Structure 1
């Protein structure tokens, strides 16, 4: 049995009926995105619980082997081999266990949104198309796809029709926008229900994006 990742949780004032599992980027932690929950201004009646897991600590090759929170190792910044597939798979299993834990707590899979920023988005985009449980939707923020060539043979039907929301900054120098757009197009080409939005920002989130995320969540979890 996979040991559950430690998480920061933001619970509504009533019993939660929906959940957003939000994966942070390289070197960050679950605390990084937790402060944005109030910024989303979701109606309390939506009863959404937010779960921000901490990635395990591991040595990261491009940072001189320094240990930090990372969902996988990055051995080079090359577009095609940036994400270490074995690490991505390992993290995807840990996130899958978190989804199961939410289901066990009484929140059905189709009321769970999987979100990820940068490295976290890579894990979300790897897991969701291969999952045998239907989620509510997926948010892929300033991110890219690990081994895009594997998707066509490994994707399941389960989540092909749920909404995938892609958002990226057109001034992003960490994950250039063409990488995010390539991921979006790969999912579209494989029959996934993906939408794309770009913003005037770098490798971060901006207020307009948060407003769009809020509207998207209210639509998906209506």
Structure 2
């Protein structure tokens, strides 16, 4: 898998001093989440660049081998054997390349938030916890830890105190609420600063949630 991903980039009106890298869910693309930028209702003079990468296409086992955009193969619905870890590691390299590209473009790592929904949230958690430089925050929406109820190996001490926003729908029938709770409990047991929020929704994103995300982003970037 190439580490270079195609992306949709939404620039702020003023020169960017911060960045959000937002990873989509299984079968979606960066275009699926790009419309959230105006929906967040951020101040008009915010200086946050939003990057929405497209996952590569690959066969997905639980979908009868159908080829779709995916960050990794999903082998089964069993949480402890769901994620193909070889694929997770490969996508992590692509995510790290995206972060490093922003750093090279002049955005310090501590001004970068790694975000994701569903499979993308799995990748934001896994990659953010292991990234070797301090991040501004990690956002994990409607997702789980690829390692089940334990934290990944090779955790980065630089992100041990990084704010983590975890949100989940209580009616989620794709990624059960219990999977998100297992991740939250593992993170909190590991000493991470987790803000946990639930919403009366299925496997989706709703306006009330976007309002909370907006407030959290402004706190991360101290805007």
Could you say which residue in structure 2 is the equivalent of 1:12? 12
* Separation in structure 2 between the aligned mates of residue 17 and residue 46 of structure 1, nearest angstrom: 9
Deviation at 1:131, TM superposition (A): 1.1
Question: How many matched pairs?
Answer: 222
With normalisation by structure 1, the TM-score equals 0.97
SS in 1 for 2:21: strand
Where do 1:116-135 residues align within 5 Å? 116-135=116-135
Could you say which residue in structure 1 is the equivalent of 2:34? 34
State the 4+ residue runs in structure 1 displaced beyond 4 angstroms: none
Could you say which residue in structure 2 is the equivalent of 1:175? 175
Could you say which residue in structure 1 is the equivalent of 2:105? 105
Could you say which residue in structure 2 is the equivalent of 1:64? 64
Name stretches of at least 5 consecutive residues in structure 2 with no aligned partner: none
Deviation at 1:195, TM superposition (A): 1.4
Deviation at 1:123, TM superposition (A): 0.8
Query: Cα 1:152–1:53, aligned 2, differ >3 Å: closer, same or farther?
Result: closer
Name stretches of at least 5 consecutive residues in structure 1 with no aligned partner: none
Could you say which residue in structure 2 is the equivalent of 1:197? 197
Aligned Cα RMSD in Å?
1.4
Deviation at 1:153, TM superposition (A): 4.7
* Separation in structure 2 between the aligned mates of residue 84 and residue 150 of structure 1, nearest angstrom: 16
Could you say which residue in structure 2 is the equivalent of 1:75? 75
With normalisation by structure 2, the TM-score equals 0.96
* Separation in structure 2 between the aligned mates of residue 155 and residue 148 of structure 1, nearest angstrom: 15
